[in-house]
Chains A and B, each alone.
Chain A
């Protein structure tokens, strides 16, 4: 069981918007940067968001990240079937001195 809590699954129709939450505590999300990763079936994870809300070059602005207190949120607008993937949040935990990931959220585009 992960210290960072994500919903196991979310779904939405093509063209719609979806949000994925990641809940933690003051020792991790509350005081450290959050990153988000997309893992398409059978592939390695890819960085979508870092430093809570920054996008690496090449990541479309349909993907956004935000953080408030001890929770973070990944938003995806204009959903496409190609967005079907597992999404993970990640951060540093200052108390444990470890990197941690959420349990992952499977996105289904209906």
Chain B
């Protein structure tokens, strides 16, 4: 069965960096686009980024463009989100998800990132 397991969240100070990972299993990882989506405490879903199946095609939300970098290692069935210059407003649960043409069909359980001094 499809499984997505995020890791790497934690408490960081404003301006610091953090890298999230998502381990995928149960499907041919290299065949799918992958997404990062976040949810601030008590708020709705906010799309962050997605990456094409080979890793060459990426898109970012304006709120993270220039600060976050999405990448993948198809040999390791892993997705990453490098987050630099973190701000308080980046505090959220970060989900990785498998993207299909009409939506995101499988989601991980999420990892919490807290940015606070």
- Give residues in A with beta carbon < 8 Å to B: 2, 33-35, 37, 39, 44-47, 49-52, 54, 56, 86, 88, 90, 97-104
Contacts and interface: CB of A to CB of B under 8 A. Distances in A.
Nearest to B108: A44
Contact of B101 (A33, A39, A90, A102): A33
B103 A35 contact: yes
5 contacts: A34-B102, A39-B45, A90-B103, A98-B47, A99-B35
A51 B101 CA distance: 8
A53 to B, nearest CB: 10
What are the nearest 5 A-B pairs in CB distance? A35-B103, A50-B102, A51-B102, A99-B47, A33-B102
A99 B103 CA distance: 9
Given A34-B102, A90-B103, A100-B47, 11 more contacts: A37-B103, A44-B95, A44-B108, A45-B104, A50-B102, A90-B104, A98-B59, A99-B59, A101-B46, A102-B44, A104-B45
A108 B3 CA distance: 30
A39 B44 CA distance: 10
B11 interface: no
Interface string B30-42: 0000010100000
Contacts of A52: 102
B100 interface: yes
A39 B110 CA distance: 13
A101 B108 contact: no
Contacts of A44: 95, 107-110
A94 to B, nearest CB: 12
Interface centre among A2, A47, A97, A103 (most CB of B within 10 A): A47
A90 B59 contact: no
Interface in B86-109: 95, 100-109
Given A90-B45, A101-B47, A35 B59 contact: no
